[in-house]
Amino acid sequence: MNKERQVAFRAALEAGSLIKERLGQITRIDYKGQFNLVTDVDKTSETLILDILKEAFPEDRILAEESGSIRSEGQRRWLIDPLDGTTNFAHGYPFFCVSIALEQNGQVALGVVYNPISDELFYAVRGEGAFLNDEKIHVSMVESINESLMATGFPPDTRHSPINNMSEFKTLTDMSHGVRRDGSAALDLCYVACGRIDAFWERKLAPWDVAAGSLIVEEAGGKVSNLEGDALDIDRGHILASNGLIHSQIIHVLHELKATREEISQS
Ligand code: IPD
Ligand code: CA
Ligand code: CA
């Protein structure tokens, strides 16, 4: 995995510096669908990453946010989010990253997430631990929701969906030290991995949002699952990541809220 890691580092660092140079200069925002923002920088960043990966690994499949699937054959698949946190970026709010993962035999084997503003490179190779700028990282030791800081996110269709994460947000905010909404799922996951927050949950994320970050959390000693506590399916994108110690407490809260919602809808 050494060559793969070096190539992913190069792609993430070059894309990150391209994004950083354009911060605060976006004059045109387009929409993918009704509410999902995209800028020319998302596309330029993706082209840069794809050129590097295709040249180094011409046999591999790629799933990239702006280009979709490239090649249908091949044992391995790269998952690329060329700019995670586009809404932040488009508004000049400096919290976003590049996320690159490599999946092998249906399992994420390598994850690289780069925040060009803080110059923080998070990465993990399966079985080898998780790192931030070459320092080993570990999830927090917080044992109770009451003493935790968490993060969540809201999908672009929140305003139209009855399952909009608002009751979960309110309940877990009231129970904890707070719930952040930082706007970059891949960075939220890395923040769980290095213990800056104790848990992160979100619905309806895409594979490129969660692939790299979920491996980084696991390799940092944390736990990743879907919102019922079962194995994460990156293609479905309902994710709970935590330090492991408060995982079942959060699953319990989410389960109770779901049961209440179902009771109300049946009455
Ligand atoms: C978004 C971010 C955000 C999450 C959204 C994602 P994008 O990705 O990860 O935190 O709440 O659901 O779509 O569009 O900025 O790459
Ligand atoms: Ca994203
Ligand atoms: Ca993106």
Whether 91 has a pLDDT exceeding 80, the answer reads yes
Q: Are 78 and 112 in contact, with CB atoms under 8 Å apart? A: no
What is the structure's pLDDT at 71?
73
Please report, rounded to a whole number, the percentage of residues in the chain having pLDDT higher than 90.
Answer: 80
State the closest ligand 1 atom to the C-alpha of 183, by its place in the atom list counted from 1. Answer: 10
Q: Are 244 and 225 in contact, with CB atoms under 8 Å apart? A: no
Stronger pLDDT, 212 or 264, i.e. the higher one: 212
What is the structure's pLDDT at 24?
82
Categorize the per-residue pLDDT at 73 as very low, low, confident or very high, splitting at 50, 70 and 90. Answer: confident
Phi, psi of 184 (to 5 degrees): -145, 100
Stronger pLDDT, 70 or 265, i.e. the higher one: 70
Least confident of 76-85, 125-134, 257-266: 257-266
Strands 61-64 and 68-70, by their bridges, are antiparallel
Whether 89 has a pLDDT exceeding 80, the answer reads yes
* Centre of ligand 3 from the C-alpha of residue 40, in Å: 11
Sequence-distant (6+) residues with CB within 8 A of 34 are 156, 157
* Centre of ligand 1 from the C-alpha of residue 266, in Å: 32
pLDDT in tens, 128-151: 999 999 899 999 999 999 999 999
Residues 87-104 have a mean pLDDT of: 96
Whose structure tokens read 């930082």? 182
Domains of the chain as residue ranges with CATH: 2-136 (3.30.540.10), 145-266 (3.40.190.80)
Residues 70-82 have a mean pLDDT of: 88
Whether 74 has a pLDDT exceeding 90, the answer reads no
Task: Please give the torsion angle defined by the CA atoms of residues 165, 166, 169 and 174, in that order, rounded to the nearest 10 degrees.
Answer: -150
Stronger pLDDT, 13 or 263, i.e. the higher one: 13
CA atoms within 13 A on the CB side of 124: 27
Q: How far is CA 63 from CA 87, 206, 224, in A?
A: 21, 11, 22
From the CB of 85, is ligand 1 less than 6 Å away? yes
Two tokens at 179?
């719930």
Going by CA atoms, what residue is nearest to atom 16 of ligand 1? 84
From the CB of 153, is ligand 1 less than 6 Å away? yes
pLDDT in tens, 165-191: 999 999 999 999 999 999 999 999 999
Residues 121-125 have a mean pLDDT of: 98
Residues 210-236 have a mean pLDDT of: 97
From the CB of 86, is ligand 1 less than 6 Å away? yes
- In sequence order, what are the beta bridge partners of 9? none
What is the structure's pLDDT at 261?
82
pLDDT in tens, 12-53: 999 999 999 989 877 788 887 777 777 889 999 999 999 999
User: Which of 148, 240, 143 lies closest to 196 in space, CA to CA?
Assistant: 148
